[in-house]
Structure 1
């Protein structure tokens, strides 16, 4: 029954914890949604055609103007000329006819006929040559030339025929190789005629050549449908889509809303209110995703370390302030004036690292950068400012990385110097990647923004840190370092009123810090808490053995139960004094829990020597048991240090045996049940304590006394 009840209690606690995390995150998500709503919601216009624009209207999206693209493609197709194939076969055929004619004439010029007495050969007459020529030539050419034209060719000299043949064939090649289409056959013939007429040949011979040219020039170029279609496709492919870019001016104030402008306004959705819902849905989904990441990370962090209401409020306020600063700067940011470079975004990440945890700071750096990329999108729907995202992310991560350990306020200034370098390098990347040519003045101005952002990040972090520490009681490293100062009134009180306790506390602090750092716990918290853990002993310092120097033990003169009451009261007296001086809750808890509910064995067994009617609970600390790893480690180190100091000759074997005995005793007594320490961590702690104590109580060389030196001589 008790186990079931415990499960219900744990379940109820878990539900409360998640409600405590989810509610602020959901409120933060709603705030982010409202803050970025104007960056995705597109204003629509009630505009009539041919009216004048009352303001300059820009496109909220990037979209293709398909109608204009199609128009340009039609123009490109219409500008493509028809493609033709030139038939080389026809060209060779027509040139072949011409060559055939001239070769036949040359052959006939060399032939002779035999005389009647058959004693001599007589050359053929022109008439005979023509008759034979008509028989030798192909019908195509013989039918195309008259007897007179053939006579002129035959009667011309061989030299003149050779020149005529060369000129004619050359002209024919030029014309036919270019291609002769049906519509320009006459033009091609005229071209050949022109070349022949301006030659130095005999006029009558030219007439014959012109007749041959009229025969030879025929159509040899024919329409190529496949080539024409391929050229048209290529022309279409060469036409780039007509795009309306996000941020592009569609119409300026005072200009007339033409049909073309009106269609573009309709295309980008500025006349359609229904389209506005889609960007809002996208923003809602993004905010839900970011909220889920925040809930998961805060919940995971709460499992590792306690996240009280103060830390949750700190996360909530830092997240609001960071984004509000971005929104304020975005009001004055333009595409020309890139003021997002001036945002001190690293302030949020550094405060989260100092006040909460490094992992949480890194995760929230990504979230702030994503939200910033929306805020700085110049209110262009559907776009994210990726330069702003990269810059904001780099500057925040730089703040987390360079803030290695906060020993004092100068650590934040040093982190600011690292942020400055990263900011300038990021801006340099943007300048080198940009196609725009920046002047020296523009480059220096952008660099100045980066320097100012780094400076503001450091100043705001230093200025806001005390506010969060004081307002929400958050124990940061800087506050712990301030509390560890020997000049603190409570530490001076321990030093002056209980010097033995002070020395004991310093030893416990050293051992506790080393042990915590060995397992990844907060070593600085353990050190500072150890300084104050025995503050209650200052009320009656002489009742504690470390302060009994040269006096008798007061416990020898009182009853064991009275001694037990005095000893048992010191953790709670110390916690009350710490509360009065408003020290952090974590230190008060460790002071109150460092003895848990352990038994005062010495006085318990001393009391049992006189009577058996002893209640063990009267000799036990009322608790609570250590509830954190740091409290458990301080508890163990407190007992170990006191026990080791009581050893007459502390050797490594004795120290290790004593440490093991004390840890086992605490385990068997259930004192570590609430601390979440694992057995593996206890092994590491045992080893760390051993190394530290053996370093303190190591063997030393026994130097001879002056008397021993004299005797040796």
Structure 2
């Protein structure tokens, strides 16, 4: 048991990767929609590439969403409006008119006008009076719990009823007809009121009767023959079979086999990702934080896409998948970003509709992202890249629509809005990068740009306390940046590393020759071993200062490695003059040695720039021999053994250093006086 625990402890990094791998597979499969996968892949407008397909089961042909929406619209446009009949209105109108006539006229005249008024009231309310004329094509009046349909005309609103009364009284010769007419018009009220509740209930009842299928395909019927073009009707039948097949497939014991299939496929994809990182990005593979960051981003994109597929399948392109290569390229490199993006798209191809179209568009968009997105600390570059990504989606959609439909009709214009929204969400990459920096302790080009500002607090302090060191750091930064550009290393990273590599000298600035403004050297009063300790300690002090000021680990790496395990040669020789038995380890920097191209470049640039101050008569030949000697000494002590830098790249770096030093010392042909 003890040996087992000991082995686990020794290989805890590998154990963590296994844990991360299995958790990622489980989460991705858990995110997937619960449904089987149709074994045939087909597209509208393309030939059927498989053998003749016969219906394996009886199934119904599903109507498309457009067909269902059209039927619903037709029912809504032809709905029946229901009106409630109020039987008390007529009696109230008659009572009011009769009472009014009694106060206005004598008995004889009143009887004549009442007879005329009563006849008008009966005529007006024969069908009923509406407040406003109804617009529906079908009208039903509910009277005494009986639904009575009305014709398309013949009913009146209040205004129409008053006109009918006016016409009735205009034919009368009675002297009081005008007054009776006014009285009756004032008394007319609607007796048919719109019944919204009953109307909506009837409409919902009609909508619920819509059939979502049209026709049935019996088992054994030929659906499509090999080589036949998938036309519109065939496409609908195949989609219906696909839906029925997938829903049936997920039932019973099939559930476990489908789950097993998903697990195997996802596991294979993630194994490919692990193998790629281990084989080609070993520095990332050994860093669990970076591996976790990569898998976190994959899981984030899978989760966002699967949620969209579950709830809003038609808007799956709204998920800004191109954020993935954008973020990974910003923190690592383009090749890793594209590889991870392609594998993520392959995983999502299991669950998205029209998987071929989706995979094609997303991979093309990912390639465009990798090719166009550079120097994201320049805001315009991100906007330009996002605009190109959006155009790729739009152009790709046009092409697929033309292939599927054979024309440019029935284009879903809403998808253009989805693509634009996708582009706008991709702009969220900038704040996302900032959050990832804080969460995972990584560093981006934007942060490097901020750190390169010589007006920052720490560099200002270095300039005030150790001006010579600050000037030396600027010179080293220029040399290292030029060398990094020459061999394709991260120039921004190496420049920032160079600016901060000697901040430890702020603790004892006068013990370093570049900060000594007089001929007095403090080391003259110290034994060589103590002097060497002060020189060596500037690395340790620099690391402590960097951590107090929250500098990123990648910058601290430059402080830690810029002298590697080299010897403080001057004081070592002085000590040998005093004592032949000298332990080299007392005069050696603690290391580690450089472990990347960037840290190796800084070591060469720092040593060359510092030692160049000792050149009394710099010439082309002297500089050439000088640089060769410095770098050769570093190679002989195996300082670049762990750095992934080739001999060819070292030669290129030396060439740049020679050119830059020549420019610094302004070597030119001497003119006669």
What range describes the TM-score normalised by the shorter chain of this pair? 0.5 to 0.7
**Deviation string, structure 1 residues 159-203 (Cα, Å, up to 9, x no partner):** xxxxxxxxxxxxxxxxxxxxxxxxxxxxxxxxxxxxxxxxxxxxx
User: Would the aligned equivalents of 1:339 and 1:449 in 2 still touch at CA under 8 Å?
Assistant: yes
Counterpart CA distance in 2 for 1:20 and 1:502 is 42
Q: Secondary structure at the match of 1:673?
A: coil
User: Would the aligned equivalents of 2:59 and 2:241 in 1 still touch at CA under 8 Å?
Assistant: no
- Note closer, same or farther for the CA distance 1:589–1:643 as it changes in structure 2 (3 Å cut): same
User: What is the match of residue 436 of structure 2?
Assistant: 468
1:658 aligns with 2:617: no
Select the residue among 596, 600, 603 that pairs with 1:628. 596
Q: Secondary structure at the match of 1:374?
A: coil
Q: Secondary structure at the match of 1:528?
A: helix
User: Would the aligned equivalents of 1:350 and 1:400 in 2 still touch at CA under 8 Å?
Assistant: yes
**Deviation string, structure 1 residues 68-121 (Cα, Å, up to 9, x no partner):** 349x99xxxxxxxxxxxxxxxxxxxxxxxxxxxxxxxxxxxxxxxxxxxxxxxx
User: What is the match of residue 419 of structure 1?
Assistant: 389
Deviation at 1:452, TM superposition (A): 1.0
State how 1:237-386 maps to structure 2 within 5 Å. Answer: 245-248=237-240, 273=252, 279-303=258-282, 308-334=287-313, 338-377=314-353, 384-386=354-356
User: Would the aligned equivalents of 2:481 and 2:494 in 1 still touch at CA under 8 Å?
Assistant: yes
Deviation at 1:426, TM superposition (A): 1.7
- Note closer, same or farther for the CA distance 1:485–1:65 as it changes in structure 2 (3 Å cut): farther
Counterpart CA distance in 2 for 1:266 and 1:697 is 79
Select the residue among 439, 443, 457 that pairs with 2:426. 457
1:33 aligns with 2:33: no
State how 1:486-525 maps to structure 2 within 5 Å. Answer: 486-525=454-493
Query: Which consecutive unaligned segments of at least 5 residues does structure 1 have?
Result: 1-10, 74-240, 252-264, 378-383, 709-713
Deviation at 1:662, TM superposition (A): 1.4
- Note closer, same or farther for the CA distance 1:610–1:304 as it changes in structure 2 (3 Å cut): closer
User: Would the aligned equivalents of 1:628 and 1:676 in 2 still touch at CA under 8 Å?
Assistant: yes
Counterpart CA distance in 1 for 2:242 and 2:494 is 65
User: Would the aligned equivalents of 1:419 and 1:454 in 2 still touch at CA under 8 Å?
Assistant: yes
Counterpart CA distance in 2 for 1:250 and 1:296 is 35
User: What is the match of residue 188 of structure 1?
Assistant: none
Counterpart CA distance in 2 for 1:270 and 1:473 is 45
State the TM-score, normalizing by the size of structure 1.
0.62
Q: Secondary structure at the match of 1:434?
A: helix
State how 1:56-205 maps to structure 2 within 5 Å. Answer: 67-69=220-222
- Note closer, same or farther for the CA distance 1:451–1:445 as it changes in structure 2 (3 Å cut): same
1:406 aligns with 2:376: yes
Deviation at 1:669, TM superposition (A): 2.6
- Identify which range, 520-529 or 635-644, moves more after superposition: 520-529
- Structure in which a larger fraction of residues adopt helix: 1
Select the residue among 502, 508, 521 that pairs with 1:553. 521
1:434 aligns with 2:404: yes
Counterpart CA distance in 2 for 1:297 and 1:310 is 17
User: What is the match of residue 158 of structure 2?
Assistant: none
Counterpart CA distance in 2 for 1:304 and 1:359 is 15
User: What is the match of residue 594 of structure 1?
Assistant: 562
User: Would the aligned equivalents of 2:25 and 2:263 in 1 still touch at CA under 8 Å?
Assistant: no
Q: Secondary structure at the match of 2:417?
A: helix
User: What is the match of residue 526 of structure 1?
Assistant: 494
Deviation at 1:456, TM superposition (A): 0.6
User: Would the aligned equivalents of 1:594 and 1:631 in 2 still touch at CA under 8 Å?
Assistant: yes
Counterpart CA distance in 1 for 2:262 and 2:542 is 53
User: What is the match of residue 113 of structure 1?
Assistant: none
Deviation at 1:436, TM superposition (A): 7.2
Query: Which consecutive unaligned segments of at least 5 residues does structure 2 have?
Result: 1-6, 39-57, 61-207, 226-232
User: Would the aligned equivalents of 1:508 and 1:637 in 2 still touch at CA under 8 Å?
Assistant: yes
Q: Secondary structure at the match of 1:38?
A: coil
User: What is the match of residue 509 of structure 2?
Assistant: 541
Deviation at 1:471, TM superposition (A): 1.2
Structure number with greater Rg is 1
- Note closer, same or farther for the CA distance 1:524–1:285 as it changes in structure 2 (3 Å cut): same
Counterpart CA distance in 2 for 1:611 and 1:445 is 85
- Note closer, same or farther for the CA distance 1:268–1:701 as it changes in structure 2 (3 Å cut): closer
Deviation at 1:26, TM superposition (A): 3.0
Aligned CA RMSD, in angstroms, stands at 3.8
Deviation at 1:48, TM superposition (A): 14
User: Would the aligned equivalents of 1:21 and 1:299 in 2 still touch at CA under 8 Å?
Assistant: no
- Note closer, same or farther for the CA distance 1:689–1:65 as it changes in structure 2 (3 Å cut): farther
User: What is the match of residue 696 of structure 1?
Assistant: 664
Q: Secondary structure at the match of 2:517?
A: coil
Q: Secondary structure at the match of 2:495?
A: helix
State the TM-score, normalizing by the size of structure 2.
0.66
Deviation at 1:636, TM superposition (A): 1.9
Counterpart CA distance in 1 for 2:234 and 2:670 is 94
Tell me how many residue pairs correspond in the alignment. 494
Deviation at 1:301, TM superposition (A): 4.0
**Deviation string, structure 1 residues 261-300 (Cα, Å, up to 9, x no partner):** xxxx799957974555665454334213212221222223
